[in-house]
Chains A and B, each alone.
Chain A
Amino acid sequence: MTENGKPKLAMYWGASCGGCEISILNIHENILVVDEIFDVAFFPCIADFKVQHVKDYPDEYIDVCLFNGAIRTSENEEMAKLLRQKSKVLVAYGSCAYEGCIPALSNLTSKEATFNAVYLDNPSIDNPEGVLPQPVSNVPEGELEIPVFYNTVKSLGQVVEVDYFLPGCPPEPPQIWAVLQVVVAALTQGAPLPPAGSIIGAGTSAVCEECPLDKHEKTITRFYRPYEITPEPNLCLLEQGLVCMGPATRNGCGALCPQVGMGCRGCYGPPEGVIDQGAKMLSAIASVIGAGDPSMEEDDLEREIQAVVDTIPDPAGTFYRFSMAHSLLKRAQVNGGNGKGELS
Chain B
Amino acid sequence: MSKHFEPVIVGFLCNWCSYRAADLAGTARIHYAPNMRPIRVMCSGRVDPQFVLKALKDGADGVMIAGCHPGECHYVEGNIKALRRFLLLKRMLTQLGVEEERVQLVWASASEGIILAEAVDRMTEEVRDLGPLNWQENVLGRGNGHVVSIQVETELESEEV
A residues within 8 Å of B by Cβ? 55-56, 58-59, 71, 74, 77-78, 81-82, 85, 108, 111, 148, 150-152, 154, 158-159, 275-276, 278-280, 282-283, 285-287, 289, 291-296, 298, 301-302, 305-306, 309-310, 312, 314-317, 319, 327-344
Contact = CB atoms under 8 A, between A and B. Distances in A.
A341 B97 CA distance: 7
A292 B85 CA distance: 13
Among B130, B144, B153, residue most surrounded by chain A Cβ atoms (within 10 Å)? B144
Given A85-B154, A294-B71, A298-B107, A316 B95 contact: yes
Given A294-B70, A340-B97, A275 B135 contact: no
B88 interface: yes
Among B100, B140, B158, residue most surrounded by chain A Cβ atoms (within 10 Å)? B158
Contacts of A306: 87
A77 B150 contact: yes
A158 B84 CA distance: 33
Q: Which 3 A-B pairs have the closest CB atoms?
A: A339-B97, A151-B145, A333-B97
Contacts of A343: 91, 94-95
Contacts of A336: 97-99, 130, 133, 138-139
19 contacts: A55-B157, A77-B147, A78-B153, A85-B154, A148-B150, A151-B144, A152-B140, A276-B49, A279-B48, A282-B89, A285-B88, A286-B88, A298-B69, A314-B95, A317-B95, A329-B57, A335-B138, A336-B133, A337-B98
A344 B95 CA distance: 9
Contacts of B147: 71, 77, 150, 152, 154, 158-159
Contacts, number: 187
Contacts of B145: 111, 150-152
Nearest to B68: A294
A301 B80 contact: yes
Nearest to B160: A55
Given A55-B157, A59-B158, A280-B50, A332 B80 contact: no
Given A74-B150, A309-B84, A340-B97, A316 B92 contact: yes
Interface in B116-138: 130, 133, 135, 138
Interface of B is mostly: helix
A275 B98 contact: no
A150 B150 CA distance: 9
A279 B140 contact: no
Interface residues of B, number: 52
A69 to B, nearest CB: 14
B55 to A, nearest CB: 9
Interface in B61-88: 69-73, 76-77, 79-81, 83-85, 87-88
A317 B88 CA distance: 13
Contact of B158 (A85, A312, A317, A337): A85
Contact of A331 (B87, B140, B153): B140
B27 to A, nearest CB: 27
B154 A305 contact: no
Nearest to B72: A294
Contact of B95 (A58, A150, A285, A315): A315
Contacts of B100: 337-338
B50 A328 contact: yes
B80 A293 contact: yes
B84 A287 contact: yes
Contact of A152 (B57, B81, B146): B146
B85 A282 contact: yes
Contact of A286 (B84, B94, B140): B84
Contact of B84 (A150, A276, A292, A330): A292
Contacts of B84: 286-287, 289, 291-292, 305, 309
A292 B83 contact: yes
B54 interface: yes
B53 A302 contact: no
A263 B152 CA distance: 41
Contacts of B85: 282-283, 286-287
B98 A58 contact: no
Nearest to A319: B92
B14 interface: no
A306 B77 CA distance: 17
